[in-house]
Structure 1
C-alpha cells in the first residue's frame, strides 16, 4: 500500500449486518452503539420519498435499515434482511469498549462493563461468557437478539 495525501481515492467504510429483522436489529444496535437512524440520501427529504422514487415495493420497505454515528466519526451500519438463518460463529465481531482500558481501576472497569451488559440484556441480548484475567473482569461475550456475537470490553 502506498501513502498518499489524496484520500478521495480511499473507499468509504461501512458495515452490513445480515439479519431477519432489520428494524428490530437497528433499534438494538442504535442503543448499543449510541447511533441514530441515518438521514435519507442527499436529494430526498425522507426515506419514504427515496424508496418511492426508486420503485421499491412497499412490502420491501422494512427489508433494510441504516444507522449512523450522530457525530459522523464511526462507520455506519446497514442492516439487511436475508432469508437464511445465521449458521455459524461470526468471523468478525464488534467490541463495545466501555471500560476505559486497563489503566482504569479494576472495580470501575467492572462497574462500567456490567452497566452496559445490563442495558443490553434489557434490550434483548444474552450473555455468552464472562472472561476474567487474574480475578478481574476483562470482557463479556454477548449475543444480540439474533445471536450475532459481540463483546463488551
Structure 2
C-alpha cells in the first residue's frame, strides 16, 4: 500500500502575492513565516535577482490540515477554463433554500474581496446547488 503524501496546489498567475492574499481571506489561510535570516517576505523578495522578484508567493492552512497553496508568476494570461479547480465547502450538509442562502452569503463576501460570480448551478436531483466563481485573476472555483 502506498503511503499518504502531502499535496501542494500550484496556481499559475500574473500577481502571485495578490492572488495568495485573496485565497488567505477565502480559506482562513495565512502567509507562512519568511525564510530564516529575513524579517519579512519583502526583505526576502528584495534579495532575489530582479527578474525573480515577485515571482512566487504561498499561503498555508494554520491548522496544517489543508494543502499549501503556491502561486507562481507566468508570462501568459489565462485564456481557457481551468482543468482543475478548488471547491470551497460552505454548504456541506445543507439542502434547498438553506444551502442557497449559505452560497449567496459567501458569494457576497468573496465579491467584496474581488471575486466574480459566474453561474449558480441549481440542484438537479443528482447534485446539490453550487455557485461557480472566479478569483481576482479569473481562475474558476466553486462554492459548494
TM-score normalized by structure 1? 0.80
> Residue 16 of structure 1: SS of its match in structure 2?
strand
- Residue matched to 2:80: 88
Deviations 1:22-47, CA, capped at 9 Å, x for gaps: 11101211111111102234x44544
CA RMSD of aligned residues (A): 2.4
Alignment of 1:2-151 (within 5 A): 2-3=1-2, 7=3, 11-41=5-35, 43-44=36-37, 46=39, 47=41, 56-57=48-49, 60-101=52-93, 104-133=94-123, 138-151=129-142
Q: Give, in whole Å, the separation in 1 of the partners of 2:42 and 2:19.
A: 20
Pairwise CA distance, 1:86: 1.0
Contact 2:90 2:143 in 1 (8 A): yes
Pairwise CA distance, 1:13: 1.0
TM-score normalized by structure 2? 0.85
Q: Which has the larger radius of gyration?
A: 1
Pairwise CA distance, 1:105: 4.6
**Runs of 5+ consecutive residues of structure 1 not aligned to the other structure:** none
Q: Give, in whole Å, the separation in 2 of the partners of 1:18 and 1:32.
A: 18
> Residue 36 of structure 1: SS of its match in structure 2?
coil
Contact 2:117 2:134 in 1 (8 A): yes
Q: Give, in whole Å, the separation in 1 of the partners of 2:106 and 2:86.
A: 14
Q: Give, in whole Å, the separation in 1 of the partners of 2:9 and 2:31.
A: 14
Contact 2:121 2:131 in 1 (8 A): yes
